[in-house]
Chain A
Amino acid sequence: MKKLIFATILFSLFLIAPKAQAATYYIDCTSGDNAQAGTSTGTAWLDFDQYGETARSAGDIAVVRRDGINCDNGTDLTILSDGTLTNPITMESDYDNAWGDFASSSQTYTITRGQKEMTASATITGIASGSWIYVTGEDQRVWSYEVASVAGTALKLYLPYKGGPIGAGLTLNVMGVAPKWNNNRANLSVTYNTDEYWKLQGIYWGSGDTVMSLQRMGYMEIKNTIIAGDGGNITGLLLVGKETVLGIYKTRFIDVSFGINTDTGSGTRANIMADDLYFKFVANNSVAFNIGSDTTVRARDIEADGLAGASSGVFKEVSIGTSDARGRNITTVNSTGFLAYANSITTNTGNIRIEDYQSVVGDNRQFSKFSTVKGDTPFLQSSFSTLRSGGGATSIEVNPNTNVGTTWGVMNMKIFEYPIYLDTTKTTFDVYLRASATADWSVDPTASELWIEIDVLASVSGAFRYTKKSTNTISFTGGTTWQNLTLSATASQSGMAYLKLFYAKTKEAGSNEFYVDIAPVFTQ
């Protein structure tokens, strides 16, 4: 009977055991030994080569002890194996206190969301620059932050805090410094070549050459990471070849010239999702996202420090071909360089769209081949000053160039597209526009050069939509009052319709600048 009870208890322990990851290995860059098994903290390996350059099974995880500074063996790291979509191969620093060397802060902290600064209840002890902290109770893999500096009761992070708990009296857990691969930033590189489905977290990667080359990677996720160059012409992450999908979060780039470079002349088709990145540049003409052909970038909360030079940029769209970069809350500090740089403004169909430009809420700007100048010159941007009475809270300032025209459809500038739910009642749409100054115009745009159009459902069943265009014109030469383009349409069934404004007049000698009220008027 006792044996039965014991077996039952033992069996139950298996049932309630936490669901673990796949095979786990341990790396201690200070006191490990590659001749050991690597399967426990006591038998940890010494360097990353033992893990990365031997055959891995999908789902393997390497836990790297913090504070180690010699995680390389003096040679390049050439990754060998693939994970799978559901079982990536992971290399991460210690988040679970495997070696028992974490600590709790002696002080409590006042924390404000969105700020880098935290204030301690007393002079800070036990935390130094490079430490990683997280608020007690938070998921440390998601909400840990690297400490930039400590002075008295002031603690400063590299990235703004976005975790849950805020306010006073909060306790921090303290983890050690990120383990370092190539701390001396020698000419070593990490190469992933067709090695798919990897995750890297919490590690410092240094180099005096390209830090990490991702070639035809499939999926790669990088989080809580430091990418360090030596201040020369260094690329942090080089995406080469086709179809690399990169997710990169809460990562700091220092002393590189190109943070993430997808422009290699051989076509890339990369897909980049970025959130919470900090770039610290020292070299002239540095670029955070150097965007090659057919590359998609979605980035949020990006800060670039130290941009300078005539061809610098947070987003630099460089290549012939279609690229699409969108950013939200993008900021440059200590910089004389550009935030958005549309390099090939005569030849390609790429776009850079920024919301909350320089962290100003509602300041939205768009750059492309329609921009008049390559650096930081939007062809569309939010205006807070030229507003129609009774209209929207902002207007759109339009600054076209000579690439706008009617010869080709791609030369038509689409200024906005609004999805609108319409019923079957006849609806009239009015969009209001005005010139910046009459002196900017010699000839008014015709109805074929400035129009609104609506795509409405065309029949009682099916999703076919027909397009109706406005036919009236605006007189920009006649004055600067708000005037409207007007259009009426009736949908055959209720559903989504799409209201668009197009401009296709080639720029004259004058600037041809005008404003559009963002709030169309609908009348039924």
Chain B
Amino acid sequence: MNTIKKIYRYIKDKLHRFWHWIFGGAVLAVATMAVLGAVQTPLPTYSELNWVRPNTNADWKIDVEKEGLNTRYDYQLVEMDASHEAKLLEEKKEYDLYVRYPDKLRGEIWVELDYQGLNPTSRSVETLFTERMAEKKLSVDMLNRAVERITNEMRLRASNFVDRTQDLRATKPSTERERTERAKL
């Protein structure tokens, strides 16, 4: 009985002296396992549109020139506005569909991979899903920017804030229509 008590007191003493090491070690072990379990190679990131929407007419004047719109005749701006707005509508519709029902796109990707014998995994599907959504968003954003630039160029001209006569005279007309428009300048 005394021996047992001695052993008990010995163990208790050791535990008391080293409990912080034991406790710290246990915490470290648990934390390590949690971290190792959680860490995966992050999914790649993709290009985003790097555009600051202008706030003033002066800023818009500079911004639209990046799209080359200062060298477009009025009739071209009208045509471009129509075609790009129609395209934006189409792209937005598809993007909104995938935002609302992302599993539809995931399903399509899964079918594609499976069809090509590429053994789809949740990770490969997710990688492609992220890529496709980013591409789609970029496309929508670029179209949106184009439409905004076109409509603002038209607005700036209509309000006489800009006079593009010089810019248009500097370009070489290539079609009969352009020659006609140039003659009116």
Contacts and interface: CB of A to CB of B under 8 A. Distances in A.
Interface of A: 14, 20-25, 37-40, 53-59, 75-76, 78, 80-82, 191, 193-194, 263-266
Contact of A22 (B84, B170, B175): B175
A75 B84 contact: no
B133 to A, nearest CB: 13
Given A82-B87, A194-B91, A266-B108, A55 B146 contact: yes
Given A39-B71, A55-B146, A57-B79, A265 B175 contact: no
B66 interface: yes
Contacts of B76: 23, 57
B178 A23 contact: yes
Contacts of A21: 174-175
A81 B66 CA distance: 16
A263 B115 CA distance: 8
A14 B179 contact: yes
Interface stretch (B7-15, B24-32, B33-41, B134-142): B134-142
Contacts of B172: 24, 39-40
Contacts of A264: 112, 115-116
Given A58-B79, A193-B91, A194-B87, 16 more contacts: A22-B174, A25-B68, A39-B172, A55-B149, A78-B135, A78-B139, A80-B84, A80-B146, A81-B87, A82-B83, A193-B135, A264-B112, A264-B116, A265-B112, A265-B114, A266-B112
Given A80-B142, A82-B87, A39 B170 contact: yes
A55 B150 contact: yes
B115 A265 contact: yes
Given A76-B47, A193-B139, A57 B80 contact: yes
Interface residues of B, number: 37
B67 interface: yes
Contacts of A25: 68
Contact of A191 (B71, B90, B135): B135
Interface string B101-121: 000000010011011100000
B147 to A, nearest CB: 8
Contacts of A265: 111-112, 114-116
A76 B44 CA distance: 14
A78 B115 CA distance: 26
Contact of A55 (B80, B108, B112): B80
27 contacts: A20-B174, A20-B175, A23-B71, A37-B170, A40-B172, A53-B142, A54-B67, A55-B69, A55-B84, A55-B149, A57-B79, A58-B83, A76-B47, A76-B135, A78-B135, A78-B139, A80-B84, A80-B142, A80-B146, A81-B83, A82-B83, A191-B135, A191-B139, A193-B135, A193-B139, A266-B111, A266-B112
Contact of A54 (B83, B139, B146, B179): B146
B49 to A, nearest CB: 10
B90 A194 contact: yes
Nearest 9 interchain pairs by C-beta: A265-B115, A55-B146, A20-B174, A54-B67, A265-B112, A265-B111, A57-B76, A75-B47, A39-B171
Instruction: Specify the main secondary structure of chain B where it touches its partner.
Output: helix
B174 A57 contact: no
Contacts of A53: 142
Contacts of B142: 53, 78, 80
A290 to B, nearest CB: 9
Interface in B142-180: 142-143, 146, 149-150, 167, 170-172, 174-175, 178-179
A14 B69 CA distance: 26
Nearest to B67: A54
A55 B67 contact: yes
A384 B115 CA distance: 40
A191 B46 CA distance: 14
B72 interface: yes
Nearest to A74: B47
A266 B115 CA distance: 9
Contacts of A20: 174-175
A59 B80 CA distance: 11
Contacts of A14: 179
A23 B174 contact: yes
A125 B172 CA distance: 37
Nearest to A87: B175
A499 to B, nearest CB: 41
A264 B112 CA distance: 5
A413 to B, nearest CB: 28
Contacts of B83: 58, 81-82
A65 to B, nearest CB: 18
Contacts of A59: 175
A40 B150 CA distance: 22
Contacts of B79: 57-58
Given A14-B179, A193-B139, A57 B72 contact: yes
Given A21-B174, A78-B142, A54 B47 contact: no
A194 B72 CA distance: 24
Contacts of A56: 80
B68 A54 contact: yes
A261 to B, nearest CB: 9
Interface in B42-88: 47, 66-69, 71-72, 76, 79-80, 83-84, 87
B95 to A, nearest CB: 11
B12 to A, nearest CB: 63
